[in-house]
Homo-oligomer: A and B are copies of this chain.
Amino acid sequence: MSAEAIIITIGNELTSGLIADTNSAEMSLMLAELGIVTIRHETVDDHVERIAAALRRAAGEAAVVLVAGGLGPTEDDVTREALALVLGRSLELHAESLRQIEALFAARGYVMSPANRRQALCPAGAEPLANPVGTAPGIAASVGGARVFVVPGVPREMRHLMGLHVLPRLADAAGGEAVVYRTAHAFGAGESVIGEKLADLMGRSSNPLVGTTACDGIIAVRITARGADRAGAAALAERTLEEVRRRLGPIVFGIDDQTLAGAVVEALGARRQTMAVAESCTGGWLGKLLVDVPGASGVLAGGVISYANAVKEALLGVEPDLLAACGAVSEPVAAAMAQGVRRRLGVDYALAITGVAGPAGGTAAKPVGLVYTALAWAEGQTVRRHQFPGDRQGIRLRAALTALNMLRLHLMES
């Protein structure tokens, strides 16, 4: 039986619904890597007694309790006080923590405000966890038999302290069973079609567990494998992953953390080829997705955000007559944008996007959601017409992903 955990996230911005809690899910996945099963998430408002009650409750139920949030410098950050209440100890100023906070402010060239001294407070008998990426140190404590770890609510700092302090200390807490998650990402087919191809693998309470979720046209096929040890679980997950790849074929673009842009950068890099982009309605989103990938500089020269027609003419050499005759959102203009940026930047491949993202600007002939994506290379070009669902953001993201997938499939075939 593996160890069980309860995750508590703190903040009025969460309980009020103004912000959706993503830390709990991320932390559960991290724990699963150690074979620790999360049985409950709790989100409590900035209320010291209620936070203390949640801590006591969780410590009575689970061997591991993770807490995220309420470590900020302001009056409404009371997680430190709540933990002190539960431990029945007072808060003490931790000199080393204070020194690190002061150093961080100095490094950033800011003057530290007295309020930040609160962040150096830690309940007597608990252990401060150094935070190299922010001003809120974490806290490790023992409540009853349970091991309690408190980390900041800022996702970036949460991840950093989980990796630096919490997960290493919990490596031993995992019971006999190990859990391994793998994910195959597919683009270019609906969730139901994929579901049919994997129907027999998606039997509910079997091991491995196979499930799908769809987001912005990307279908994630999630595999959960359990085993007596990590190696066994990993092997089972790997076999299932291979079977999923075999059944779905080229629509699978990446595994686990790989993105569509990452797959394109990797494929171009392997061929020592280069690319550029020309974007109208996406306004730079396509370039942003490519530059998200470390090492993109090896393949991406850059591009043009040709939002106004004048820019399509001036920087991409699109003919004014063409724009007048067909309109900016048209197949020939998409092709001219792609060929234009390819020639100007002297790259092997270019992607171009032009469309109507809305909410305004749609017509009967060219409704909101109409998008043309173009791929150009020295010997040829392809242009595709799409009618995407969703709002301004959804249409634009789908357009950028679709353009990336055009190039990915072209590289697989050529």
**Which residues in A have some Cβ–Cβ distance to B below 8 Å?**
11-22, 24-32, 37-48, 50, 54, 57, 72-76, 78, 107-110, 112-116, 133-135, 153-154, 156, 181, 183, 190-193, 195-196, 199, 202-205, 209, 211-215, 220, 222, 224, 277, 279, 281-288, 290-292, 294-297, 300-308, 310-311, 314-315, 344-346, 357-361, 387, 389-394, 396
A282 CB contacts on chain B under 8 angstroms: 288, 291
The chain B residue with its CB closest to the CB of A135 is B192
- Other A-B contacts than A40-B54, A291-B305, 7 sampled, CB-CB below 8 A, are A17-B28, A39-B47, A109-B387, A154-B215, A292-B392, A295-B360, A302-B305
B21–A75 CB distance below 8 A: no
A28 CB contacts on chain B under 8 angstroms: 15-17
The chain B residue with its CB closest to the CB of A179 is B16
A360 CB contacts on chain B under 8 angstroms: 294-295
B12–A17 CB distance below 8 A: no
B50–A45 CB distance below 8 A: no
Main secondary structure of the interface of A (DSSP, over half): mixed
10 A-B pairs with least C-beta separation: A283-B291, A284-B284, A17-B28, A284-B287, A74-B195, A41-B43, A302-B311, A73-B192, A17-B29, A17-B25
With contacts A110-B190, A311-B345 known, is A302 near B291, CB below 8 A?
no
Picked from B39, B195, B315, the residue with its CB within 8 Å of the CB of A45 is: B39
